[in-house]
Structure 1
Amino acid sequence: MVVLAASPACSSLPIYTATHGRQLAALPAPAATAGARLAAALPAARSPSCGRLTPCRAAASSDDPTPDPSPSSRDVEALNKLLMPAAPITGAELRELVLEKWGVSYDVRLQKRGRRVYVHVMWKFLEQKSFPLTEEEYLLQLQAVADYLNLWECQERVRTGIRSANKRGPGYTGGGNARAISIPLDVDVDGAGRSNEWNTF
């Protein structure tokens, strides 16, 4: 979790805005995840006792210099995570997580900075009179963010990031600069060959 000050050079990526009144074009899907590559490349055995994968190691031979190709415990955990994915997140859950943490309905946006993608919990919130979205539009915005988090399999990262974030929350610095809560995502949208779509938002 990183706390960053907003910068004019790093504009937010709105998925739904009151101005346009519609969702923007679909974002590119990420390149194959590490878990997917492991699933295709590593041998593993399923444990009949609990349904999880367990390491399947060949018997070692003192006169055989060939490295043991069996998966490590970390590899097995990655495969288990792939086979037992986290529950999908919804826009309503995003709002509830934010409310439980900070007591107000902060806006949540996606942003691409360089090759990294972040979820930003913004400093503006629904309960403000000056907030630019209606409650319905706000929920549509959060649901659009949630849909991409599910597509990218980043929902647990965001749940953990919000719960472990600084209690101080988003707001303004002493110098008057806006401050968002930034949660980096393990996503490679550039790998899909469609990164230019991000530059049009």
Structure 2
Amino acid sequence: MALTGAQLHDLLQRKWGRSYDLQIFRRGERLYLQVMWRYLGQGSFALSEDQYEARLERISAYLSELGVQQQVVDFLMSTREKPRIGRAVSFALEVE
């Protein structure tokens, strides 16, 4: 299953009603996806809409390369956590 940036954006909108920023980071041997508390339209958000969409496209392409797109979809649909100021929602990616 391919996951586009637009689909990722739609998932974030349906889940939380906001276009939250995403980050992928490595801690030791583990990779994590983080849903940050910053979002498109927020006064302090540093990206324009075009930059945000390009960012989600890059992230979705990377997730597809890793083969973890279904894990991400499942996590986003099932988590009860919500990003709050100073606290991101983190998800450990199970990369083979």
Q: TM-score, normalised by structure 1?
A: 0.46
2:89 paired with 1:181: yes
The aligned counterpart of 2:19 is 105
Q: Show structure 1 runs of 5+ residues with no match.
A: 1-86, 173-177, 189-201
The aligned counterpart of 2:83 is 170
Which structure has the higher relative contact order (CA within 8 Å, separation 6+)?
Answer: 2
Higher strand share: 2
Alpha-carbon distance in structure 1 between the residues aligned to 2:12 and 2:20: 7
The aligned counterpart of 1:135 is 49
Alpha-carbon distance in structure 2 between the residues aligned to 1:158 and 1:131: 23
Q: TM-score, normalised by structure 2?
A: 0.95
Aligned equivalent of 1:160, options 58, 61, 74? 74
Alpha-carbon distance in structure 1 between the residues aligned to 2:40 and 2:6: 13
Q: Shift of residue 153 of structure 1?
A: 0.6
1:78-126 Cα deviation digits (max 9, x unpaired): xxxxxxxxx1001111111011000010001101111100111100000
* Counterpart residue type for residue 82 of structure 2: G
Alpha-carbon distance in structure 2 between the residues aligned to 1:136 and 1:125: 13
Q: Percent identity?
A: 39
Superposed CA RMSD in Å reads 1.1
Q: Secondary structure at the match of 2:45?
A: coil
Aligned residues between the structures: 96
2:59 paired with 1:151: no
Tell me which stretches of 4 or more aligned residues in structure 1 moved more than 3 Å. Answer: none
Q: Show structure 2 runs of 5+ residues with no match.
A: none
Q: Shift of residue 163 of structure 1?
A: 0.6
Considering only CA atoms, is the larger Rg found in Structure 1 or Structure 2? 1
1:35-184 superposed matches below 5 A: 87-166=1-80, 168-172=81-85, 178-184=86-92
Q: Secondary structure at the match of 1:171?
A: coil
* Counterpart residue type for residue 68 of structure 2: C
